């Protein structure tokens, strides 16, 4: 059966490695397009009816307010049916330690019983946060696979480079292989390196610094 990539992504002003800048395409959208090229899966964008502000600082306050209120933003659209899909790749940025609340809306309104959900999360170092736990709480009748954390645009670029050297058919499995290999390298060496998974200030250090926790909202 075919797969679906359901994703939430934001462009406009975003945070990148200590600076703010405007972008035309969010990192989650970039990662989604890579997965689509690898799998041939259909894509569905999760969009709020009333989007957050284009200004970064206003956006993060609006997102935090929705989280505190446990809001369920209205969506522009929902898929007509998910019946033909047995696998759902679920992509989103880390917003205040979990998924954007619009993704909660999507999951609660979707019939995902018996389906396999494969989450991936773009972030600036905060990882998956509580998103995996939240997905499991919302999708009790689904098979939730371990989530994939992708660090920002550099992580997406690393995936693009790595994917050209493999015939792996399952994109999610492929990305995990690349990630595990990288983390193993970081644990075993103190040599300076430049990569797409370690935040810049942690590159060149041993891996205990790799698992830092800094809360930033990305796209």
Binned average pLDDT, 10 residues per bin, the chain of 219 residues: 94 84 91 93 98 96 97 97 97 96 98 97 91 97 96 57 41 48 39 40 38 44
SS3 content of the chain, % helix, strand, coil (to 5): 35, 20, 45
How far apart CA 27 and CA 167 sit, in angstroms, is 24
pTM for the full model?
Answer: 0.75
Predicted pLDDT at 45: 98
Predicted pLDDT at 155: 52
How far apart CA 39 and CA 96 sit, in angstroms, is 30
Residue 112 tokens, joined: 């995902």
Q: Which of 94, 97, 6, 103 is nearest to 45 (CA)?
A: 6
Predicted pLDDT at 192: 39
How far apart CA 26 and CA 47 sit, in angstroms, is 13
Predicted pLDDT at 15: 79
Fold that domain 3-209 belongs to in CATH: Rossmann fold (3.40.50)
Please enumerate in sequence order all residues whose Cβ is within 8 A of that of 76, keeping only pairs 6 or more positions apart, or say none.
Answer: 47, 48, 49
Predicted pLDDT at 156: 55
Residue 217 is given by DSSP the state -
Listed by start position, the domains of the chain span 3-209
């Amino acid at each position: 059966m075919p797969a679906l990539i359901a994703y939430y992504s934001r462009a406009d002003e975003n945070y990148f490695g200590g600076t703010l800048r405007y972008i035309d395409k969010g990192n989650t959208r970039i990662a989604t397009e890579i997965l689509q090229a690898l799998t041939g899966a259909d894509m569905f964008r999760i969009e709020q009816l009333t989007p957050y502000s284009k200004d970064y600082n206003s956006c993060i306050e609006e997102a935090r307010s929705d989280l505190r209120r446990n809001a369920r933003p209205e969506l522009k659209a929902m898929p007509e049916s998910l019946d033909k899909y047995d696998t759902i790749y679920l992509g989103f940025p880390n917003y205040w330690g979990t998924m954007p609340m619009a993704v909660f809306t999507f999951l609660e309104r979707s019939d995902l019983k018996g389906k396999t959900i494969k989450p991936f999360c773009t972030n600036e170092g905060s990882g998956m946060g509580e998103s995996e736990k939240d997905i499991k709480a919302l999708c009790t009748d689904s098979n939730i696979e371990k989530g994939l954390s992708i660090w920002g645009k550099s992580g997406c670029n690393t995936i693009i480079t790595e994917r050209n050297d493999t015939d792996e058919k399952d994109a999610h499995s492929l990305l995990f292989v690349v990630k595990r290999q990288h983390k193993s390298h970081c644990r075993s060496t103190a040599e300076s390196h430049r990569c797409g998974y370690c935040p810049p200030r942690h590159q060149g250090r041993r891996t205990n610094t790799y698992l830092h926790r800094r809360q930033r909202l990305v796209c």
